[in-house]
A and B are shown apart, each in its own frame.
Chain A
């Protein structure tokens, strides 16, 4: 079973920030939070990941609470092309030569960006 809980759907107006929450209350100290998204019938796309500090890249920002029990993915200026299912996943740090550990996908949040 997925270790994360996400709302099933969210709407966002084009040009506004989309804030997608994720609960991972049982996360352990060596587990990272990863975000992927999947646009209809395409392969999932990696967005961002983090351990405990906030992270930002060209696609999004990831805010992780101090207790690490929840996080928020922020798309600063959502466009229609950001309409997708967003998956929040926790995964342990990989040791050299060790298994990558499979990504356990839950049902994700279906984000609809509306004009």
Chain B
């Protein structure tokens, strides 16, 4: 079974621009979560989507947004990029159903550099 895929893998943008990152979850998984990883702050939760609805949101400004499509694929968007947005953006998928077997499987990430 294919794993979580993220595109693009690397991206360079300049301040003020906007960016859209894409995530395709493992087949059958309905929940997608996004995380930001920086050297200073570590891994931080951005938001979670299940059945096209945002179910949980981390403490990030409104410039960070996301959505999920009917096929469970998800995108996240960052508008008005700042230098501090340079990070590894990780997507994780899980079944999203109840019970203990809800481990999240991560993709390889998108490395965003803001100049």
Q: State the A residues within 8 Å of B (CB).
A: 32, 34, 36, 41-46, 49, 51, 87, 93-107
Contact = CB atoms under 8 A, between A and B. Distances in A.
Interface residues of B, number: 31
Interface of B: 4, 31, 33, 35, 42-45, 48, 50, 55-56, 58, 88, 90, 92, 94, 96-100, 102-109, 111
A49 B103 contact: yes
Contacts of A103: 33, 35, 43, 45, 92, 104
Residue among A41, A44, A51, A106 facing the most chain B CB atoms (10 A cut-off): A44
B33 A102 contact: yes
Interface of B is mostly: strand
20 contacts: A41-B109, A42-B108, A46-B103, A46-B106, A49-B100, A51-B100, A87-B43, A93-B98, A93-B100, A96-B97, A96-B98, A98-B55, A99-B55, A100-B33, A100-B50, A100-B94, A100-B102, A102-B48, A103-B35, A105-B43
Contacts of B48: 99-100, 102
Contacts of B97: 94, 96
B90 A44 contact: yes
Contact of A105 (B33, B42, B100, B109): B42
A94 B99 contact: yes
Nearest to B51: A97
Contacts of B106: 36, 43-46
Contacts of B100: 32, 49, 51, 93-94
A104 B99 CA distance: 19
Nearest to B88: A41
Contact of A44 (B43, B58, B102): B43
Given A43-B4, A43-B109, A100 B56 contact: yes
A100 B96 contact: yes
Contact of B98 (A32, A46, A95, A104): A95
Contact of A100 (B42, B55, B88, B107): B55
Contacts of B44: 105
